[in-house]
């Protein structure tokens, strides 16, 4: 008997229940005209007034899949060029891109940020210069290319971080502290511990603001569907005061799986284009550094790594089970620099590996210990950016009916897999929902 067949035999009685589709009422407001929003933000704060003609301006570009980032940067570049300035782009992404200059430049290429598309040079180097220390003695590193410019303009998305909490999380302060710090700066900040990250990001960011010539920053807030919700220009002297307010606004837009306690989350895909940790811990309630929170899922499974992750599987440690095809797409050279720089190894631990999607689901069911009298409480999502509709098992049906923002359909569906055990789709079983106590299983 093959080893794989042995595992199949152990899981053969793990029946997969019927599921019901739910629609989640989440704010989907977004900006339609990105260029007008950028120009409007610049005009509102008279942000360009201090940038003189002929000035060389370094604009930061991060590794995250920020929606419309190419348009945002291109519009900013156009506004600076119209004033006679000479902008250029530098990758500002800590250790991402394998912690190499070429790797970081390639990451920007994948976001349509190139010298050709932007019309200005993209200058990539990992070299940094120590500009001083914080009041508590933390050395502050800044990219040498940025320091060679007359001005630096940080551009970044403001959002809740997946691994630490505080008044400053992902945003302009972090872009200055860790993005501009390249691998060296990011490593120093992370080495001091995740628990101290927010206060250290602030301390380092303040030192950069005090020392470097930064006229303003561009902050971006996205809605729950990765749509651009707001773009702001924040004068340098207001960043410390305004960023916490913008962070609270961003937090209010992040959806969470709307149940107090669930048994299993099945996630079809994860990736760096979805979240910094592949699976957004703010959505699933599980963080490699912060532990477990609502919805307190006992098990999490993931089928595949997105193509846009380019092998970076940081965050897979949040899962209990992945598939063979997931494993075969991860690249250690892309994944481990993140862990080394952040000193966070739990996020890159390899979970149990099942040969197929079907066996992955059965593994989660078989190893789950906490199901209640109504049956397994399973939430099935495409990814943590796609929560406008998802599927729940019968064990959650009663609770879903009581949640105001959910619209729950009454037709049960079975999960279908192809001949290779890969997930295909949900297929309707009946025209009406069976009694809530009747649980349908596929074995």
pLDDT tens digits for range 290-324: 788 889 999 999 999 999 888 999 999 999 999 99
pLDDT of 22 > 90? The answer is yes
| Range name among 4-8, 111-115, 281-285, 404-408 with the lowest pLDDT average | 4-8
Shared domain for 289 and 329, answered yes or no, is yes
Q: Which domain holds residue 240?
A: 34-251
What gap in Å lies between CA 183 and CA 352, rounded to an integer?
A: 31
Of 251, 277, 299, which residue sits at a domain end? 251
pLDDT above 90 (res 190)? no
Cα 164 to Cα 81: distance, rounded to the nearest angstrom: 38
The pLDDT of residue 443 is above 50 = no
d(CA 48, CA 78): 12
Q: What is the mean pLDDT of the chain?
A: 90
Give the number of domains in the chain: 2
Average pLDDT over residues 148-164: 92
The pTM of this model reads 0.78
Residues 6+ apart with CB under 8 A from 80: 48, 51, 57, 59, 87
| Angle, CA of 268, 156 and 181, to the nearest 5° | 105
Residue 337: what pLDDT? 85
Decide if pLDDT at 277 tops 70.
yes
Q: Do 231 and 260 fall within a single domain?
A: no
- How much is the pLDDT for 3? 63
Same domain, 271 and 203: no
- Comparing 374 with 91, the larger pLDDT belongs to 91
| pLDDT > 90: percent of the chain | 70
Q: Report pLDDT for 131.
A: 95
Statement to judge: residues 211 and 288 lie in one domain: no
pLDDT value of residue 4:
65
- Look at residue 436 in the predicted model and tell me its pLDDT: 43
pLDDT of residue 1: 43
Last residue of a domain, one of 251, 283, 298: 251
The band of 430, judged by pLDDT with boundaries at 50, 70 and 90, is low
C-beta separation of 58 from 179 below 8 A: no
The SS3 of residue 237 is: helix
Asked whether residue 233 falls in the same domain as residue 343, the answer is no
Q: How far, in Å, CA of 206 to CA of 239, rounded?
A: 9
At 225 the pLDDT is 82
pLDDT of residue 282: 87
Residue 234 and residue 110 share a domain: yes
Give the Cα separation of 227 and 218 in Å (integer): 16
Statement to judge: residues 238 and 260 lie in one domain: no
Mean pLDDT confidence for 261-290: 89
pLDDT digits (tens, 9 = 90+) for 321-357: 999 999 999 999 989 987 887 778 899 999 999 999 9
Boundary of a domain, candidates 218, 236, 251: 251
For range 232-245, the mean pLDDT: 97
Q: Which residues pair with 196 in a beta bridge?
A: none
pLDDT of residue 439: 46
Q: Is the peptide bond before 295 cis (omega within 30 degrees of 0)?
A: yes
d(CA 330, CA 274): 16
What pLDDT sits at residue 37? 97
Mean pLDDT of 30-52: 95
Asked if 165 and 277 sit in the same domain, the reply is no
Considering the domain architecture, whether residues 212 and 260 belong to the same structural domain is answered as no
Q: What is the CATH number of the domain that holds 222?
A: 3.40.50.11440
Q: Are residues 136 and 268 in the same domain?
A: no
- Mark whether 240 and 136 lie in a shared domain: yes
Residue 65 and residue 175 in one domain: yes
pLDDT for the residue numbered 341: 79
Average pLDDT over residues 110-114: 93
């Amino acid at each position: 008997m093959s080893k794989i067949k042995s595992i199949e035999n152990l899981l053969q009685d793990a029946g997969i229940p019927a599921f019901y589709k739910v629609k989640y009422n989440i704010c989907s407001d977004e900006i339609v005209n990105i260029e007008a929003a950028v120009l409007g933000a610049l005009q509102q704060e008279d942000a360009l007034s201090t940038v003189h003609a002929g000035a060389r301006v370094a604009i930061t570009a991060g590794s995250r899949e920020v929606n419309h980032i190419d348009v945002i940067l291109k519009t900013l570049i156009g506004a600076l060029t119209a004033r006679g300035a000479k902008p250029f782009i530098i990758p500002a992404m800590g250790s991402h891109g394998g912690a190499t200059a070429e790797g970081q430049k390639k990451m920007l290429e994948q976001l349509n940020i190139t010298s050709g598309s932007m019309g200005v040079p993209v200058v990539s180097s990992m070299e940094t210069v120590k500009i001083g220390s914080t009041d508590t003695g933390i050395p502050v590193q800044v990219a040498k290319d940025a320091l060679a410019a007359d001005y630096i303009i940080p551009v970044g998305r403001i959002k809740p971080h997946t691994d630490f909490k505080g008044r400053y999380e992902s945003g302009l302060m972090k872009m200055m502290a860790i993005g501009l710090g390249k691998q060296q700066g990011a490593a120093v900040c992370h080495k001091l511990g995740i628990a101290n990250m927010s206060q250290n990001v602030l301390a380092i960011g303040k030192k950069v603001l005090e020392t470097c010539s930064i006229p303003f920053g561009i902050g971006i807030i996205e809605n729950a569907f990765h749509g651009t919700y707001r773009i702001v220009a924040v004068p340098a002297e207001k960043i410390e005061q305004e960023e916490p307010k913008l962070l609270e606004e961003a937090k209010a837009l992040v959806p969470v799986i709307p149940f107090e306690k669930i048994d299993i989350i099945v996630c079809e895909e994860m990736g760096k284009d979805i979240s910094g940790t592949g699976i957004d811990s703010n959505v699933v309630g599980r963080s490699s550094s912060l532990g477990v929170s609502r919805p307190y899922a006992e098990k999490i499974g993931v089928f595949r790594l997105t193509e846009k992750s380019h092998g970076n599987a940081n965050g897979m440690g949040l899962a209990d089970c992945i598939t063979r095809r997931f494993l075969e797409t991860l690249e250690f050279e892309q994944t481990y620099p993140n862990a080394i720089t952040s000193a966070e190894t739990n996020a890159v631990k390899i979970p149990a590996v099942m040969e197929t999607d079907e066996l992955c689901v059965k593994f989660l069911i078989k190893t789950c210990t906490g199901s209640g009298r109504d049956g397994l409480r399973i939430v099935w999502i495409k990814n943590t950016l796609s929560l406008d509709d998802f599927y729940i098992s019968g064990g959650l049906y009663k609770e879903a009916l009581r949640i105001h923002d959910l619209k729950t359909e009454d037709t049960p569906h079975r999960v279908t897999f192809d001949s290779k055990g890969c997930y295909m789709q949900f297929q309707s079983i009946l025209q009406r929902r069976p009694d809530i106590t009747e649980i349908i299983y596929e074995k």
